[in-house]
Amino acid sequence: MANKYESDTRYLFVNTQGLNNNGDQINNIKLNLGSRPFESDDNSLIKMSLTQFNMPKNFYDINSTNNTFRVYWEGFVHSPTGTVINDVDTLLKINVGNYITRTQLQVAFAEKLKPILDSACPTGCTFTVARIPDKTSQYGVKHNPLSLPEVSSVINLNLFGITATASVSGFRFDNKIQIQSLHIPPSEGLKTLTGGTVLTADEQFNSSATLFGGIRSKNFSTSVDENAFSVTAPSDTNVCHILGYFPMNTALHTLPYVYLRVNTVINQSTNNFENVTHSHRGDTVPSHILAKIERVEMPDGSIYYRTNNEVIYLNNITQNRLNDLQFSLTDEYGRVIPQNDLGNNIDHFGNSFYNSTTKKINKEGNLFCDFTLKLERLSIPFMQNVLQGVPEIKRQNPDSIKTSIPMLNNGCGF
């Protein structure tokens, strides 16, 4: 059934691949309607609807927005063994990529933590960092049912757990290792490590705690316990236990949706959607989010971000003329879709045949999207202006005066 107020409708079909504009294919999509701007007048308004969206997930699930921890270890000298530990304040970054199991993630974490601990000890003490096998099993619903365990003690806990064991048996962890998952909005200023390294926005506003089941740290201080994990080092052993507080993320990524933002749209969202650029303290704030687009896994294993045909996002726009439109795809916190510098910062695991490039995946590569916008000019029903005033007093004809005067016996009232 047609909209009875509809007087003009236009579909805008957009494909951002190789789009020739001043932005890029994902994070800064600029469109100019040219000689055919969409306009309304005083008796109408513009409605913008997203009717279709599609973007292949050609980026890594583990990326700069969720792969980073801060490792802080205050230096000391362990007197009984003479082991020296230097001050440590650095970043632990898991290799970007698509991981298959939670066990892989834990092993990757352990492999990155070991050289950090080893470099802290100039006196020759090294550390063995290993996953605790009974914390996260490999069993899952997609495995062969015949290979699944039948005993109740073998369960999938999905808990992060590793140990760091010193090569010097008499060594003790006199000072606790702090491993922080920083979640500090860049609007509060970029923080600096002890050695002078200034953190990037993604490094200090990271979702690694979500991925590993840790606690987010909104405090950059090291004078208080801001550990993402439970770190325990018994006084009678050379082993430090680093254990997750909560189950690891149910998915091996932290991006179940992407968000399409449009400069002309004014909606509302909870303030954490705008943490990258704002530090509001209210429950909701104005937002340019037009649509929330779901991650969809296809039968062949390919992954896309696509809108459901039954879900149409729309917004009424009060300005009278649409000429320049600016779109951006972000995660829930307003961060640009990772990895915006993918291609020139990947660890290729020592394979010399891979070469880095200064080209960007979201500029010249295969990270792009296509979508359809429906623009409608809706007529505002005309309301006739009627002058309002004090209503006239309703008068009734009074009875004849003779009806209110008693009649005499002769029938005369006088």
**pLDDT band per the 50, 70, 90 thresholds, residue 412:** very low
CB 289 within 8 A of CB 273: yes
Which residues make beta-bridge pairs with 304? 56, 296
The model's pLDDT over 99-142, given as tens digits with 9 standing for 90+, comes to 998 889 999 999 999 999 999 999 999 999 999 876 665 544 44
Per-residue confidence (pLDDT) for residue 399, from 0 to 100: 55
The count of other CB atoms within 10 Å of the CB of residue 112 is 18
**353-408 residue pLDDT tens:** 777 777 888 888 899 999 998 888 877 766 555 556 666 655 555 554 455 445 54
For the whole model, what pTM was predicted?
Answer: 0.81
Q: How many CB atoms lie within 10 A of CB 97?
A: 16
Lowest mean pLDDT of 71-75, 135-139, 221-225, 251-255, name the range. Answer: 135-139
Given a contact cutoff of 8 angstroms between Cβ atoms, the answer to whether 60 and 102 are in contact is no
Q: Choose the weakest-confidence range: 15-19, 22-26, 265-269, 281-285.
A: 281-285
Output the pLDDT for position 329.
Answer: 92
Query: Residue holding tokens 């200090």?
Result: 204
**pLDDT score of 152:** 72
